[in-house]
Amino acid sequence: MSDPYLSPSNVMVLVVRGDGRILAVRHNAASKTSANQVTVVGGKLEAGEFLDEGALRELAEETGIHVAAGDLDFGQLVHYLDADGVRVIGAVFTTYRWQGEPHNAEPHKHDQILWVDPGHPPSDCHPYTRQVLENFRAGRRYGTITVPASGGGS
């Protein structure tokens, strides 16, 4: 019998503005996983958190905005194979309502926040984020994402 499958988990929130643009952050050069790249708001699930709790925490930590639990909707599940061969499960939530004005609440991690067009993400968008945005646009609730060692996405 093989060992049980264990996988790290990511949580992301697609904060969708009235014009369809999605809130994102541009990581600074010190980032270990996405230096100088644009990603949607999110991060790793912490011990003892449920997926929605982690998503709401990451959103507040990174942008200073708050979303009521009832305004957070499940959007998609992604299974990601990173360049190091680690498989990560990501839960992506969406919201169209929030309290507060988004701002860069983690300037030590991010150079800026920005609103991106999910149909035309910036050229420096991380491949993982690019696929999450494509899934969102296409209405896909599940997808697999592979980022080879070269850093390109498929």
pLDDT tens-digit profile of 76-126?
999 998 878 888 999 999 999 999 999 999 999 999 999 999 999 999 999
Pairing outcome for strands 9-15 and 87-95: parallel
In this structure, is residue 154 part of a structural domain? no
Which residue has better confidence, 48 or 150? Answer: 48
**Is 35 inside a domain boundary?**
yes
Residue numbers of the domain that contains 67: 9-146
Residue 29 lies in a domain: yes
Q: At residue 64, does pLDDT exceed 90?
A: yes
For residue 85, tell me if it sits in a domain.
Answer: yes
| 124 part of a folded domain | yes
Assess whether pLDDT exceeds 70 at residue 152.
no
The answer as to whether 2 is a domain residue is: no
Domain annotation covers residue 151? no
Predicted local distance difference test score (pLDDT) of residue 109: 93
Task: Quote the CA–CA distance of 55 and 72 in Å, as a whole number.
Answer: 9
Q: Which amino acid does the sequence have at 75?
A: G
Question: Is residue 50 a part of any domain in this protein?
Answer: yes
| Pair 39, 10: CB distance under 8 Å | no
pTM of the predicted structure, to 2 decimals: 0.91
Beta-carbon contacts of residue 9 (< 8 Å; ≥ 6 apart): 44, 45, 51, 54, 88, 89, 90, 91
Can you give the pLDDT at residue 82? 81
Domain count, the chain: 1
> Which distant-in-sequence residues (6+ apart) come within 8 Å of 109 by Cβ?
25, 27, 28, 30, 31, 62
CATH of the domain at 65: 3.90.79.10
